[in-house]
Every structure is written in C-alpha cells, then in structure tokens.
Amino acid sequence: MTALLETRRLTRQFGGLRAIGDLSLLVNRGEILGVIGPNGAGKTTLFNLLTGIYPPSSGEILFEGLPIAGLRPSEIARRGVARTFQNIRLFRQLTVLENVRIAYDSRLSCSPLGALLLTPHAGFSERESVEASMELLDLFELGSLAENRAGDLSYGAQRRLEIVRALALDPKLLLLDEPAAGMNPSEAMQLTDFLRWVHGKFSLTIVLIEHHMQMVMALSDRIEVLDFGVRIAGGKPDEVKGNPRVIEAYLGTEGELP
Amino acid sequence: MMDGIKKHLIPLSLLLLGLVVAAVLPATGLVNDYLQFVLISVAINAILCVSLNLVNGWMGEFSVGHAGFMALGAYASAILTVKLFPTAPAELLFPAAVLIGGCTAGLAGIPVGILSFKTRGDYLAIITLAFLMIVKSGLENIPYTGGPRGLLGIPRLTTLAWAYFWCVVAFWVIRNLVYSKYGRGIAAIREDEIAAEAMGVNTRTAKLVAFVTSSFFAGVAGALFAHQLQFINPSSFDILKSTEILVMVYLGGVASLGGSLLGAGAVTILTQCLQPLGTWRMVVLPAILVVLMLYRPSGIMGYRDWAWLKPFFPLTPRSNEKKETETGEGLQ
C-alpha cells in the first residue's frame, strides 16, 4: 500500500454550485503532487475538504487507509495532515514562537485540570514545547525573531513561518496552498529549492496548489489538473504540459478570441 | 533543580507575607472599617475582572453575562450559610460555601460554553445577555431565596484575608491557564479560529475550559460579595454590574493579568474617591474611558504583562547539557 491519501468520488456542493464533483485522487507516500487549474476550479475547496474545514457532500476521504471525512479539523491535523493557507493565516497578534507552539501543543498530553493547577507534568510539557519549537525555528533561521509579533514579519518571513508552523504538527502530509503567491520569479525559485529541502528533511508527502507554472513543473512528481471541480487531466509534468484539454482550460479554445 | 526551587521560593514567601499582613492588619486597628471595605472590594473586583478577561480579552469574545455567573455563586453560597447550615462553624463553612458557589457558576458556564461553539462575536454577546436575563428573572421568581426582595441576614464572613486568598488563587490559576497549551489555544481562537483548528487546537475544549474557568471565579467573587455586603437581591446582578466589570477589563487592558489588577484597582478606588463629586462622578469615569479608547483601544496593559506575573519554567537537563557543551567548546 503506497497510497497515503485517497479520495473516492468526493463531492462538495454549495447550494446549486458543484465546487468539487466526483473527484477520485490518489496521493502516494513520499511524492510531491501538483494540483493546478484555473481560478475557481475548486483547488482550495479540495484542501478545505481534506482538512475537514468543510464536510464533503458525498464521497470518501481515506488517510492511511482510514476514513477521515467528517472528523474535526483538529483531529485530522493530529493524525498528520498539515496545511498552509492561500491568504496567510498566522496568529498575527501572537509571537513567532507562540505561533509554532500552538501547533506543537497538539502533541502534548496535559489535561485541562493539570494545566489550571500547574502540575509537574504540565510544567514539563511547557518546557518541552518551548524547546522543540525553538529548535524548529532555529532550523529555519527564524530563531532570532522568536519574540517578535508574527504580524510584524516581512511577507516572505510570514510565508516561511506558516510552513514552520505546519511542520510543528509533525505531519505526514503537507498541503501547500499557493505558497509562491505574491512572489517574484527569483523568490519563487528560492522557494522551490526551500520546499525541495523541506520535503527531504522531514520525509514528507506534499500536495501543492500553485499558479506559478515553472515552480509546479520543477517540483512535482505528478500533476493533477482540475477545472470546474472535475479532474480533467493528470500525469507527469511533461504529459500535462502538452495536453490539449489543459491548454483549453487555461487559454480557451481556438476561435474564441478574435 | 535548586535554582528552580529558589526562584519559586521568593514569590511564594511574598504571597504568604501578604496573607499574614491581610490577616493581621484589621486587628491592629491601622485600617478602619471603610478602608477594609474598599480593599476587599478591590480584591473581589480583581477576581471578576481577571475572570471576565479570560473570555473577553484572551479569547476575544464579548460576554455581558458575568454578573449572572456572579449571582449564581452569591446565591448558592448564601443559601448554604443562611438557610441550610446557619449554625455550622464559619471557619469550615465559609471556604466550602465559596467553593460551592464557584462550582455552581462553573456548571452554568458549560451550557454557555457549548452555545459558543457555533456562535461568536455579536451573536454570542446576545446569548450571554439572554443568560443574564434568565438568571435574574429566575431568581426574582424563587420564593425560597426571597424573590425580588432578596436574601437578608447573610453573615459577614468575607475578611480581608479570605478576599486576598481567593484573589491570589484566581490570578494563579488563570495565569497557569493562559500560559499553557489551552491558553495558547484560547488566544489562537481570538486570532483566527479556522487556522487554530487546522493547527490541531480543539477549539471546543478550549472554549469550554475558558467559559467554565471564567464562570467559576465569577461565582467565587459572587460568594465573597454576598458575605461582604450581607444582603443580596437579583437587581444587584443586573447588566450594570456586568458593565462595571467590562469597564475594568477594557480600562486595565485586555488579555493581561497585570491589566486586570490595574483596572479593578483603578475603577474601585476612583469610584470611591469621586464620591464627593456627587452626580459628576458619573461623567468623569466615562470620559476617562472615551479618552482611553481613542488613544489606547486595548487598555493600559493590553496584550502585555509584567515579567513577574509570568510563570517560570527551569530548563530541562537536556538543554542545560547542550548549553554546557556549547560553553565548554567555547573555552577550548
């Protein structure tokens, strides 16, 4: 069994709009899967379904062979699915360290009553969470910014912090929603190298939504193409690049333009 | 390890010294009854303020029902001391009555917490308002506790020492909470609830912990309040009482332990100092509030705290070893 994540006839309806329709996908352990498609194709909805933010209208999601559809997002996160957001969603008022600690905290076992009364175990978990989070921040050269407010960081550092925060969950699967949004080509190339390093270092499986084609082509082992919530193509980057249906979805058919 | 114990010893002995002072001071005659009354009020208000701050400051919701939780604590404890065990020795009865007052209010915090799972912001504010109205009109219609006339003849058991003790307990527990995994989860809900869930924060647990802890201490404060004034009726716990606590929270500073202490102290003492102004005191405090909201919308100490109020965690052996090897290498 090499599939880490599998969706079976996954559907999500918003009123009359079918954001995702009958989508069956397979994500293999250890690969980087690119998900592309025009705006409104349902890519972010797919992530919201996978992380439990929306329940699916029908269909199944299997993570490590177990159904996860309908679980709370926090439970799915604990099982090893971490994500970043298209529009950065850091805890802006909190410090860089606190941002990472909040994700790390889900691994701590202290009970609410233990926390209120500060039992030795609760104190020990606190120390563990600070040290592990600092270690992670140092690894990403954000250690010196640990006490800064997350909202005060530069745009690039915020993007990086969001990835670090997701990694603090110790995920098996990392979902990246347009990590290169708002970056220029050279920054995007840097990010490509960075993601490749992260992928190897944490032995992750990554699903990547991105509009930056150069980056998707360079990183992905496979690419799935969505349009109007339906899978229209898929395969190796080179196969997808030449697929007429993909070109049509992105550019429209011949003769439409004068 | 020794270092850790030493670090804890100083604040602990200071707190004990405070308790001794609070116990001895009334007997020395250095403080008159009035001053004692004001000091006890400061302590009670500080408990109310820090507990409301947990929901309104750290969690970023807006509860106006705090007086309702306070009422439940006040009535539950007064029923014990007046109706059920009027002859029991006060030294045993009073701590139990305060604790039971807190637990009654804490239990009432559970349904409000559950309602906060799906509602937030203005909508949750309306729910807490409804809760306050239910409690108040409920109490008005129970003949056992005197209906709208209220409960009379409550023994005066709230001493300065007890008020001080419960105030320290409230700050200690809420400090432990806000600097724990659950406290960070509560702050994450304020910042971005969806991101919090996606980062593994069980927002339901966090909300329940916040509401139950907050209402428990409101109940404790209510019990102390009842045994300070010796008389309670439902209209002592109306929306104005909630508003008074809200003013303390937003004046002192949201999401701040020091701010809660500051806000409760400032408002309590100001209202006393402004008594000679008569009706004009009703103008001064709101004016201060308006100016504060213009220049410091999160309050005097908003989102900050003094270092001595934060918990201290000695480093684990692992990181100590790492430090030692690092410095060792540096020496060579």
Q: What is the pLDDT of residues B110-119, one digit of tens each?
A: 999 999 999 8
d(CA B266, CA B9): 30
Q: Do B188 and A93 touch (CB under 8 A)?
A: no
Tell me if A118 sits within 8 A of B311, measured CB to CB: yes
Predicted confidence at residue B324, as pLDDT, reads 45
* Rounded-to-integer distance, Cα A86 and Cα A178, Å: 5
Verify whether the Cβ–Cβ distance B199 to A108 is below 8 Å. no
Residue A1, pLDDT score: 53
- Taking an 8 Å cut-off on Cβ atoms, the answer to whether B184 and A105 are in contact is yes
B185/A122 Cβ within 8 A: no
Out of A75, A82, A94, the one facing B191 most closely (by C-beta) is A94
Q: What is the pLDDT of residues A2-50, one digit of tens each?
A: 799 999 999 999 998 999 999 999 999 999 999 999 988 999 999 999 9
Secondary structure of residue B21 in the 3-state scheme = helix
From residue B197, alpha-carbon distances to A53, A60, B146, B188, B193 in Å are 8, 21, 46, 9, 6
Q: Which residue has the tokens 């139990």?
A: B96
CA distance A202 to chain B (A): 18
| pLDDT given at position B90 | 86
Contact B102, B217 (CB under 8 A): yes
User: In this predicted structure, what is the pLDDT of residue B332?
Assistant: 33
Chain B nearest-CA distance from A58, in A, is 21
Q: How many residues does chain B have?
A: 332
How far is Cα A92 from Cα B192, in angstroms, rounded to an integer? 9
Note the residue count of chain A.
258
- Asked whether the predicted pLDDT for residue B321 surpasses 80, the reply is no
Bridge partners for A10 per DSSP:
A23
* Cα B264 to Cα B42: distance, rounded to the nearest angstrom: 6
Beta-bridged to residue A23, according to DSSP, are A10
**Average pLDDT in the B189-211 region?**
97
Locate all alpha helices (DSSP H) within chain B, ordered by sequence. 2-28, 33-53, 66-78, 90-115, 122-140, 160-178, 181-191, 193-198, 203-229, 239-252, 257-273, 281-295, 317-331
- Angstrom distance (rounded) from CA A165 to CA A153: 14
Whether B326 shows a pLDDT value over 80: the answer reads no
Nearest residue to B176 via CA among A110, A113, A116 = A116
Supply the mean pLDDT for chain A. Answer: 93
**Residue B276 confidence class, pLDDT cut points 50, 70, 90:** confident
Q: Which residues of A touch B (CB under 8 A)?
A: 51-53, 72-75, 77-78, 82-83, 85, 89-94, 98, 101-103, 105-106, 108, 110, 112, 115-118, 122-131, 165-166, 169
Contact B203 A74 (CB under 8 A): yes
- Residue with token string 């010893």: B9
CA distance A27 to A33: 7
Cβ within 8 Å, pair A91-B192: yes
In this prediction the pTM is: 0.92
Average pLDDT over residues B292-317: 83
**Chain B residue whose CA is closest to A132:** B319
pLDDT surpasses 90 at B29: no
Residue A83 tokens read as 């994500």
Confidence grade of residue A242 (pLDDT, cut at 50, 70, 90): confident
The whole-angstrom distance between residue A57's C-alpha and the CA centroid of its chain comes to 21
Phi, psi of B59 (to 5 degrees): -90, -15
User: If we measure between CA atoms, which residue out of B317, B248, B320, B319 comes closest to residue B289?
Assistant: B248
Nearest-Cα residue of chain A relative to residue B180 = A115
Q: Does B2 touch chain A (CB under 8 A)?
A: no
